[in-house]
Amino acid sequence: MKYDYLVFIGRFQPVHLGHLKVIEAALAQADKLIIICGSSRQAVSPRTPFTFAEREEMLRAALPAEWQERVFVVGCSDRMYNDQQWVTEVQNLVDKVIAVDTASLGHRAAEFCVGLVGSSHNRNNYYLELFPQWQRLEVPDEPGIDAARLRDCFLAEGGEHFAECADKLPPAVYAWLQRFRQGDVYPLIAAEHRYLRDFRQRWAAAPYPPTFVTVDAVVIHSGHILLVRRHGMPGKGLWALPGGFVDQGELVRDAVIRELKEETRLKVPAPVLAGSIRANRVFDHPQRSLRGRTITHAFLIELAPTGEGLPKVRGGDDADRASWVPLFEFSRMETQLFEDHFYIVNWFLGQI
């Protein structure tokens, strides 16, 4: 074998024959393969319909018995606005897998030949350049397979045309997905998929692809963060930062305070909120919102203790609930946060 370990990074939403092609090529060159599942702790949505545990089930179902012990599957968080944090987590995961796998040998991970398998022709694989210490094994993409189209076929119209995608999936994965459609989660994801499709269709006649401008408030008070629970789609039931769309003729600073007051009924005067802004940043990842290209201006608002405890809040407008959440508890809520809000907050927390 040329490599002791190869690393394969992907989202596997869902697992398809292109993934199996890469796995087969990797195991022909390496003794063992470490599969890193991205977006492993993101909230379920039409773009991430399957949890990490469910994707591992799909992978295991698709792998032949003789490959099972040669393949490790681990989950990795997204770090949408901090590539170095993400690279560090991937490196740590690989190091831990090798350390556990070779514990009885007494070797260090650095003593093994580790490589990275992927395709440089895939425009989404820019991350391959972030690991120069690992040799590269390139495998051509399987033509005609697109994970986004597979998800669309799976979710659209209750999946009635999903049989047309069977030739792009391992048979065991196709059967797994058919069972998934019978569960309680599928109808909720499919409903949100329809909502987002209709939302985008309303803008289809625009002369140019629309770009939406929004605001989000990161309000910190005495070790707590102010969150709202979304009342409607998209992201119904998920926790989010107070925020919304900027009105015509409105400054973004005014918009964030207006949305904050509307969604939380926060009992703090608007001038005090404006005077408590400590930082602001534009978050513009092209895939941050399934509604389309959405650029948000987020503001960090630090409220000083007054001796009267946390200000009263209650849900309003698009939020069915508002709540102060301890920051230690927030750090464990990645799977419950809407869109990229968890990563926005973490970016600001690094600035406090």
65-79 pLDDT, tens digit per residue, is 999 999 999 999 998
Region for 103 from its dihedrals, namely left if φ exceeds 0, alpha if ψ lies in -120 to 50, beta otherwise: alpha
The single residue listed with the structure tokens 């069977």 is 166
Mean pLDDT for back-to-back runs of 10 residues, the chain (352 residues): 94 97 96 97 96 98 97 95 93 95 71 87 73 92 92 90 94 97 96 96 92 97 97 96 96 98 96 97 95 97 92 90 97 96 94 57
Is 0.85 surpassed by the pTM of this model? yes
Across the strands, what pairs with 296? 214, 283
243-261 pLDDT, tens digit per residue, is 999 999 999 999 999 999 9
- CA atoms of 269 and 205, how far apart (whole Å): 41
Q: Give the model's pLDDT for residue 121.
A: 64
- CA atoms of 311 and 303, how far apart (whole Å): 10
The single residue listed with the structure tokens 């409607």 is 232
Torsion on CA atoms 44, 48, 54, 57, rounded to nearest 10: 180
Q: Cβ–Cβ contacts within 10 Å for residue 280, how many? A: 16
Q: Give the model's pLDDT for residue 3.
A: 96
* Beta carbons of 320 and 238 less than 8 angstroms apart: no
Domains and CATH numbers, the chain: 3-180 (3.40.50.620), 212-349 (3.90.79.10)
- CA atoms of 326 and 227, how far apart (whole Å): 10
Q: Give the model's pLDDT for residue 119.
A: 76
